[in-house]
């Protein structure tokens, strides 16, 4: 039996975002996200709260890109996923396993306690890692980690510890890539946007992000807007769905989530957790 997996509410596509470092520009970025109903994930360094940092932009020098004091901004991230970005943002692959484990463990513990939330996701500092990094993530209960290698494609990840995003917001192909996404016929098509909020201050182009998010919101009828962990957990659950044929045929969902799909006959079906439904 052939069938096509869908996102919740039979949506054919999904859109998610991922922003790093917990900088003061997150405040304005989150206001744009809230304005248009955009969801996503913020990857934070618990050990670098309040760190002062100034960068040179295109039109101005010494732009304040300091990190937020997270203890003062718990409500800012309400409604978004908080994920790990290591404790102090080192090149993790340059550290031995015990140091990598400590960087991840202390960040996860600090963020979990501060936000009263389970920390299940991560983004690699500088986009670099090795096998020890992945092992340390697994040992700390992390289910996925984002790299910095843009693919310009819309395929769902098959290894969530090497989750490559679609595109960075600074890329001049951003809007045309989204237009291609709208035409995509891939099963569980996914557009994954990433970056750092301070880059909007450096480039003086928060208006561009407002325009892009508005464009995304205009297609809510076909796009599942979700955080990284929501995408990760749904895809992992959806891939467990199977069809078993004996005397009678059954769809079986061994996962803990409702799974949406369309059969080869065109029937839309939802199968609940640990349920099987008769279907010929």
The band of 14, judged by pLDDT with boundaries at 50, 70 and 90, is very high
What are the tens digits of pLDDT across the range 168-177? 999 999 999 9
How many CB atoms lie under 10 A from the CB of residue 209? 23
CA distances from 47 to 54, 68, 70, 99, 122 (A): 18, 11, 10, 14, 15
* Model pTM score: 0.97
Phi, psi of 189 (to 5 degrees): -60, 140
CA distances from 65 to 58, 96, 146 (A): 14, 30, 22
Q: With 90 as the cut, is the pLDDT of residue 245 above it?
A: no
How many Å separate Cα 40 from the centre of its chain?
A: 6
What's the whole-number mean pLDDT along residues 24-40?
98
Helix (H) or strand (E) holding 211: helix 206-217
**Burial bucket for residue 8 (CB in 10 Å: 0-12, 13-18, 19+):** middle
CB-facing half-sphere around the CA of 25: CA atoms within 13 A: 23
The band of 154, judged by pLDDT with boundaries at 50, 70 and 90, is very high
CA proximity to 110, closest of 45, 202, 206: 45
Q: With 90 as the cut, is the pLDDT of residue 255 above it?
A: yes
69's tokens: 């004091």
Q: With 80 as the cut, is the pLDDT of residue 13 above it?
A: yes
Q: Are 218 and 47 in contact (CB under 8 A)?
A: no
Q: Are 195 and 169 in contact (CB under 8 A)?
A: yes
Average pLDDT, the chain: 97
The band of 246, judged by pLDDT with boundaries at 50, 70 and 90, is confident
The band of 42, judged by pLDDT with boundaries at 50, 70 and 90, is very high
What was the pLDDT predicted at 187?
Answer: 97
Residues 6+ apart with CB under 8 A from 14: 7, 188, 189, 190, 191, 223, 224, 225, 226, 231
What are the tens digits of pLDDT across the range 164-209? 999 999 999 999 999 999 999 999 999 999 999 999 999 999 999 9
Cα–Cα distance measured from residue 17 to residue 39, given in angstroms and rounded to the nearest whole number: 7
104's tokens: 């991840």
Pairing assessment for the beta strands 242-245 and 249-253 based on DSSP bridges: antiparallel
Q: Tell me the three state secondary structure of residue 83.
A: strand
Phi, psi of 244 (to 5 degrees): -120, 125
CA dihedral (108, 113, 118, 123) in degrees, to 10, reads: -30
Q: Tell me the three state secondary structure of residue 61.
A: coil
């Amino acid at each position: 039996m052939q069938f096509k997996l869908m996102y919740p509410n039979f949506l054919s596509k999904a859109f998610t975002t991922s922003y790093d470092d917990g900088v003061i520009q997150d405040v304005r970025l989150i206001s744009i996200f809230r304005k248009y109903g955009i969801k996503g994930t913020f990857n934070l360094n618990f050990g670098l709260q309040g760190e002062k940092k100034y960068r040179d932009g295109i039109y101005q020098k010494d732009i304040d890109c300091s990190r937020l004091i997270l203890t003062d901004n718990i409500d800012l991230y309400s409604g978004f996923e908080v994920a790990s970005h290591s404790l102090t943002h080192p090149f993790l692959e340059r550290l031995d396993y015990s140091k990598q484990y400590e960087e991840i463990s202390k960040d996860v513990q600090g963020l979990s306690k501060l936000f009263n939330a389970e920390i299940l996701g991560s983004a690699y500092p500088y986009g670099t890692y090795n096998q020890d990094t992945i092992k340390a993530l697994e040992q700390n209960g992390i289910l996925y980690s984002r790299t910095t290698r843009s693919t310009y494609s819309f395929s769902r990840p098959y290894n969530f510890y090497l989750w490559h995003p679609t595109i960075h917001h600074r890329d001049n192909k951003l809007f045309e890539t989204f237009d291609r996404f709208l035409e995509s016929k891939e099963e569980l098509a996914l557009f994954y946007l990433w970056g750092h909020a301070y880059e909007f201050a450096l480039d003086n182009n928060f208006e561009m992000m407002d325009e892009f998010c508005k464009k995304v919101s205009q297609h809510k009828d076909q796009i599942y807007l979700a955080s990284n962990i929501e995408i990760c957990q749904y895809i992992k659950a959806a891939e467990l769905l199977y069809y078993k044929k004996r005397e009678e045929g059954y769809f079986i969902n061994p996962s803990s989530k409702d799974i949406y799909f369309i059969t080869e006959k065109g029937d839309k079906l939802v199968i609940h957790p640990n349920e099987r439904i008769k279907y010929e």
